[in-house]
Structure 1
């Protein structure tokens, strides 16, 4: 059983290193606990129970902290400065027809409305968000 625990720990660490998503680190911690249980001579069912409980507790305790620190790390771009700014419609916007464009900051952008409304050429709109290479706008 010694080599099974060591093998599991190694596999979990390799998978974690390959994914960098904190997917299996909790199971590696549980594997270490199972290995310690083996070292104390506990029966196999007890080792597995300790592995499962320690893995679950490690996941439950650390996951909220990890999510808080990794969430919201959006890389701002130069285009983000357009959010909240006004733009002029240069091609009528129709989400249904998948067409429309606006001019802002001297550049022409593909545009769609956030509320699926249609906007005529020449109208002023406010940029609400950026989705890929499209501005999501709302009528002023």
Structure 2
């Protein structure tokens, strides 16, 4: 037993390197943002292993640092990573030809079909677009396509 402890004490930086690698590998497989904090803590311990700090103290610092990182930084990082931008691609329909599917007047909105999708449509001019007529999309505001006569 004493020989295992002396071998461990002589190679303590390598033990922490091994723990770092294992934690990072587990994190890369799970992407749960849990073991990465233990990996970071173990990486810090690689450098502390070169000090005369005894192993029980190093182990305490490792666990304390990992828990502090887990509790205080994981929610912030998780929130930042979960901010997904939803691409609408509405810009690509501006300038395209649409078919009127419901009559559009200056006072009433109607609807148009663009690339197989139905859009609420309105006109900015004092014109009327009858059902079945073609028009060009000028602008998108919210969920309304503003169209003009061809």
Task: Please tell me the TM-score bracket, short chain as reference.
Answer: 0.3 to 0.5
Max Rg structure: 2
- Normalising by structure 2, what TM-score? 0.45
- Structure with greater strand share of residues: 1
